[in-house]
Amino acid sequence: MAREIAFDANSVWNRIIDEPMTQLPLDVGRKNYRPAKRMRKYIQVACRRTCSMPGCNRPAQYTDLDHAQAWKDGGGTNKTNLRPLCRVHHKLREEPGWTFTTDPTGKLTVTTPDGRSYTERT
């Protein structure tokens, strides 16, 4: 039965890599846009439980998970590429003139259409 399921043309395989000590997901592969519940919880705790937008204090439990490198541009669904953004700031990212950049340490800098920059505090 297992072979039948495994080799069926309609079967879907998902790669999930867990951290050995905590069993929290590190990466769910390129096929999955939406993160697993455990990864969502991990990101919420790792990001100090608030929206990543500088100055926003919206609790992470009420946010979307945003891909720092957009999914359409090859960004993965993993703990280094995901961050919580409240719905307002997540949609703002797509507005003309707004720039969201992430440095190598994962810190978010937002530049407004008038050129002002705001960097997330660590």
- Helix, strand, coil percentages (3-state) for the chain, rounded to 5, are 25, 20, 55
Residue 34: C-alpha distances to residues 7, 55, 78, 103 (Å): 25, 26, 10, 23
For range 81-95, the mean pLDDT: 90
Residue 91 confidence (pLDDT) above 90: yes
pTM for this entry:
0.66
Q: Which residue has the tokens 């590429």?
A: 81
Strand ranges inside the chain, DSSP E:
17-18, 25-27, 64-67, 82-85, 99-102, 108-111, 117-119
Nearest-angstrom CA–CA distance, 77 and 87: 18
What is the tally of structural domains in the chain?
A: 1
pLDDT bracket for residue 89 (50, 70, 90):
very high
Mean predicted confidence (pLDDT) in 7-25: 67
Residue 34 belongs to some domain of the structure: yes
As a whole number of angstroms, the distance between CA 93 and CA 36 comes to 23
Domain membership of residue 73 as a residue range? 2-89
CB-CB neighbours of 29 under 10 Å: 13
Q: What is the structure's pLDDT at 22?
A: 65
The confidence score (pLDDT) of residue 97 equals 94
CB 65 within 8 A of CB 40: yes
Q: Which residue has the higher pLDDT, 115 or 24?
A: 115
The answer to the question of residue 73 being in a domain is yes
Answer with the residue of higher pLDDT: 79 or 90.
90
Q: Is residue 62 part of a domain?
A: yes
